[in-house]
């Protein structure tokens, strides 16, 4: 009986440690893909799995997708313009594309503080105006 309690206690402690240090969540990754990704160069697919990408909207002529990165904790933003050019930006936890030719965008995890100059494109993606 004591051994069973110790095992249950160890499992509970381990589970609470995982929950406390859990990875960031992104509501935009839920649901089905609604729009196909643009054509990207092969090295872009080294950063994320295209099957997990989700279209989140467009802003200022740039179409946007969010995808979990292949590296642990990374999140990626795919940006495409009307001319067919596309690029990907990935980082750990959040992405900031300030200065990009595709526009100034910010990807934030659920519950993160949103800057005052940010315009929501989706639940996790913001345009910086």
pLDDT band (50, 70, 90) for residue 31: confident
Per-residue pLDDT tens digits for 40-54: 998 999 999 999 999
pLDDT at 24: 81
Rounded distance, CA 123 to CA 109, Å? 9
Q: What is the rounded CA–CA span in Å between residue 61 and residue 108? A: 21
Q: Where are the domains of the chain?
A: 24-128
Would you call 22 helix, strand, or coil by DSSP?
Answer: coil
- Is 56 within 8 Å of 64 (Cβ atoms)? yes
pLDDT of residue 111: 96
**Token pair in block for residue 14:** 């381990």
Strands (E), 20-107: 54-59, 62-68, 74-81, 86-92, 95-96, 105-107
pLDDT of residue 120 exceeding 70: yes
How far apart (Å, rounded) are the C-alpha atoms in residues 49 and 37?
A: 11
Check whether 1 has a pLDDT greater than 50.
no
Is residue 121 within 8 Å of residue 127, measured between CB atoms? yes
Query: What pLDDT is attached to residue 22?
Result: 54
d(CA 113, CA 126): 12
**pLDDT one-digit tens code per residue, 68-106:** 999 999 999 999 999 999 999 999 999 999 999 999 999
């Amino acid at each position: 009986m004591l051994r069973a309690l110790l095992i249950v206690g160890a499992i509970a402690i381990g589970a609470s440690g995982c929950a406390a240090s859990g990875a960031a969540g992104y509501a935009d990754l839920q649901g089905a893909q609604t729009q196909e990704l643009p054509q990207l160069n092969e090295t872009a697919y080294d950063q994320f799995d295209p099957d997990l990408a989700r279209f989140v909207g467009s802003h200022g002529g740039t179409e946007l997708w969010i995808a979990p990165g292949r590296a642990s904790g990374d999140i990626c933003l795919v940006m495409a313009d009307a001319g067919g050019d596309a690029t990907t930006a990935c980082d750990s936890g959040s992405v900031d594309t300030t200065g990009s030719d595709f526009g100034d965008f910010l990807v934030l995890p659920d519950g993160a503080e949103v800057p005052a100059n940010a315009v929501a494109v989706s639940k996790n993606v913001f345009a910086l105006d």
